Amino acid sequence: MPYWLLPLLMLGLSGVTGCTGPAGSGADATGYVSRVEDPKAKALYQYSRFRLLSAEGADEQALAALQEAIELDPENEELRFELAEYYIELEQTKQAVRTVEDILIRNPDSVKAHLRLGNAYFGSRHPERAIPHFRKILELEPEREQVRLQLAIALARSGDAGQAIEELKELLNRSPDSQPGRLALARLYRETKLDALAIEQYQLLIQRHPT
């Protein structure tokens, strides 16, 4: 939810009166319907409280407000990403991971969620956990060059040099001028004692990127 909407929300809520139409209708004589009881409006209000409380350093109250916003608007994926980011700020990594996993339970094709988890595991001691997330992203968006490069590196770090080489070949097949991809392939050939192939890739690298 964009932060610029918060002042509009507050104006809207402050302008709502207690005057309504017939009991239970929520409308006044002009047909205006109060949105005070709208769960999404309440969620946005709680989100505004979260932003204010987090800016004041009231972490526990801010966290409670954001969790309340999610309960009120459970389909709002961005609120859950905001919660994951806040857990990271609070150095509560496990809760952040669980929050993103919850997003994937609700939306298995969320590229953003797979990318968050893939990057988190890629930078950890468990690169093998990043592999399925990177593979899913490439299944959905095969042109993502950086993700394919990260997948290859994660495979290599996990001991699967053969698959890493295949991914780098695919990357270069799609993007022949990829300097990071060709350099990674050359290094991987060198590390696996395929020196002739490594030299070939270094020569191609110099030809395509002479400066």
- Residues 96 and 179 reside in one and the same domain: no
Whether the pLDDT of residue 52 is over 90: the answer is: yes
- Residues 137 and 71 reside in one and the same domain: no
Q: Is the dihedral of CA 104, 106, 107, 108 positive or negative?
A: positive
Instruction: Read off the pLDDT of residues 112-166 as tens digits, 9 standing for 90 and up.
Output: 999 999 999 998 889 999 999 999 999 999 999 999 999 999 999 999 999 999 9
Residue span of the structural domain in which 58 resides: 35-107
Tell me what pLDDT residue 118 has: 96
Asked, for residue 170, whether it belongs to a domain, the answer is: yes
Contact 53, 62 (CB under 8 A): yes
Which of the listed residues 84, 107, 130 is the one where a domain comes to its end? Answer: 107
> pTM of this prediction?
0.76
Asked, for residue 46, whether it belongs to a domain, the answer is: yes
Top-confidence residue, 53 or 8 = 53
Contact 39, 72 (CB under 8 A): yes
Whether the pLDDT of residue 30 is over 50: the answer is: no
Count of alpha carbons within 13 angstroms of residue 116, beta-carbon side: 23
Asked, for residue 120, whether it belongs to a domain, the answer is: yes
User: Which residue do the tokens 């797979």 mark?
Assistant: 114
Contact 187, 198 (CB under 8 A): yes
Domain total in the chain = 2
Which of the listed residues 46, 78, 107 is the one where a domain comes to its end? Answer: 107
